[in-house]
Amino acid sequence: MANIVQFENVGLRYGPGPETLTDISFTLERGAFHFITGTSGAGKTSLLRLLYLANRPTRGIVRMFDEDVASLPRSRMPLLRRRIGVVFQDFRLLPHLSTYDNVALPLRIAGIAEREVDERLREMLDWVGLSARAGVKPATLSGGEQQRAGIARAVIAQPDLLIADEPTGNVDPDMAKRLMHLFESLNRLGKTVVVATHDHHLMNRVPQAKIMEIDQGRLTNRDDLRRPRARPVRV
């Protein structure tokens, strides 16, 4: 499979202090599923920000969809970002728009006809259990409902790369299973999925996924994290 993301010896520094990320190297193949895990402050958020093009690297090479991010003109960035769907941990719904209009935003930006927008929106809102909340503003939604709306907005346009930051942190276990099923369905369609999570049960639900652990700004492959710990033997 072709690589759609390539990091080579990437470093990221905010201001004059030490690097937040150091010598990050990995590739994401088209149609791959990856989990990113690590303790709070380890660098997960910074890595995700590079992946969804909120930041450019301080050093090293980041290639996205065969484009060198460091040398890419700002005018080309919006087109590249349209190929990426992001589920933010803090939701980032637009407060002046209804649930319906928040979720519809990527389709309207892409110029999809309004009739098709409506068909796709109704199916998606039904899937995430928000059909009855389509007309309300984000302020009236619960945390779990806002999370579901954010996920629906991220996946509605079927992006080539889906990045989700703790996507099941504010929903109940049944909805978490449904959302992970949605991510797996997109993955089976050939979409690349990256999920940042602390939840080992979640990682165990997708046995084919690769696991990357970030620790103090450095990345390692940690597929052993999905294996159950051995029980101590009594003597």
Tell me the pLDDT tens digit for each residue of 174-219: 888 888 888 998 999 999 999 999 888 888 888 889 999 999 999 9
> 230 pLDDT exceeds 60?
no
pLDDT tens digits, one per residue of 13-31: 998 889 999 999 999 999 9
Q: What is the CA angle 20-31-104, rounded to 5?
A: 80
Residue 210 contacts by C-beta under 8 Å, 6 or more apart in sequence?
32, 33, 34, 35, 221, 223
**Mean pLDDT calculated for residue range 157-181:** 88
Residue 52 lies in a domain: yes
- Within a domain: 234: no
Give me the CATH number covering residue 75.
3.40.50.300
pLDDT higher than threshold 50 for residue 170: yes
Query: What's the pLDDT at 235?
Result: 37
Would you say 99 and 135 are in contact if contact means Cβ atoms under 8 Å apart? yes
* Boundaries of domain holding 143: 3-221
Indicate whether 116 belongs to any domain. Answer: yes
**pTM exceeds 0.75, yes or no:** yes
- Whether 227 maps to a domain, the answer reads no
Q: Where are the alpha helices (DSSP H) in the chain?
A: 44-51, 77-81, 99-109, 114-127, 143-155, 173-188, 200-204
Instruction: Please check whether residue 229 lies inside any domain of the structure.
Output: no
38 Cβ contact partners less than 8 Å away, ≥ 6 residues apart: 44, 213, 214, 215
Average pLDDT, integer, range 86-110: 94
Within-domain flag for 213: yes
Q: Based on the structure, what is the number of domains in the chain?
A: 1
- Token code pair at residue 67: 């484009």
Cα separation of 171 and 151, whole Å?
11
What residues does 10 pair with on adjacent strands? 24
